[in-house]
Amino acid sequence: MSSSRLIVACLCLLLAACGYQLQRYDQLPAEMQLTYVQAGDHFSLFYRHLRRALDDAGITLTNDPSQATATLVISRDDTGQRLVTISAQNQPLEFEVFYEVSYRVRSKDRELLPLQAISVMRDYTYDQTIVLGKRQEEEVLREALARDLVRRVLRSLNSIGNRST
């Protein structure tokens, strides 16, 4: 066995031994099998990643709310940045990128999940000599925040499925 294969095999054994498991979202509520996602912005990072994740979890998405067995309402989908620190020369030194969402889930006859609000943020340092690089860093952070929010939403949806079984 080559050394690289041996290393990979050892890593797999270590992960299995510590109880690591890939996150699965197979316990989503049965009412969500045909879901309509209601959102004000269908082009936001969060919306696009959420739709993809729901599809990957086996949820059928519909564009017709009258056909849906559940509606996931995204009432807030907001992202931006705030100045955190400035230098003595009044130059920005650090920014905070944030992403905030609020959502709820209802079926035709009951509320599956009341309004939930989640926000995540990350700081990054700013350097005027590499403005383009810092702009790219901000976009990468924003993308990571959107993915993190989607994972959190799916975990909360998964908990609904676990309660109803």
pLDDT tens readout for residues 27-69: 688 889 999 999 999 999 999 999 999 999 999 999 999 999 9
Q: Is 111 exposed, middle or buried (0-12, 13-18, 19+ CB in 10 A)?
A: exposed
**Confidence category of residue 159, pLDDT binned at 50, 70, 90:** confident
pLDDT tens readout for residues 74-123: 999 999 999 999 989 988 889 999 999 999 999 988 999 999 999 999 99
Tokens in use for 3? 């050394």
Which domains, ranges and CATH numbers included, belong to the chain? 25-164 (3.30.160.150)
Query: Whole-structure pTM over 0.85, yes or no?
Result: no
Q: How far is CA 5 from CA 17, 21, 126, in A?
A: 18, 21, 42
How far, in Å, CA of 33 to CA of 59, rounded? 5
How far, in Å, CA of 152 to CA of 136, rounded? 25
Q: What is the DSSP letter of 23?
A: -
How far, in Å, CA of 159 to CA of 115, rounded? 15
Residue among 128, 37, 43 nearest 79 (CA): 43
- Provide Rg for the chain, Cα atoms: 20
Mean pLDDT of 5-29: 58
Q: Show the CA angle centred on residue 93, arms to residues 88 and 98, nearest 5°.
A: 140
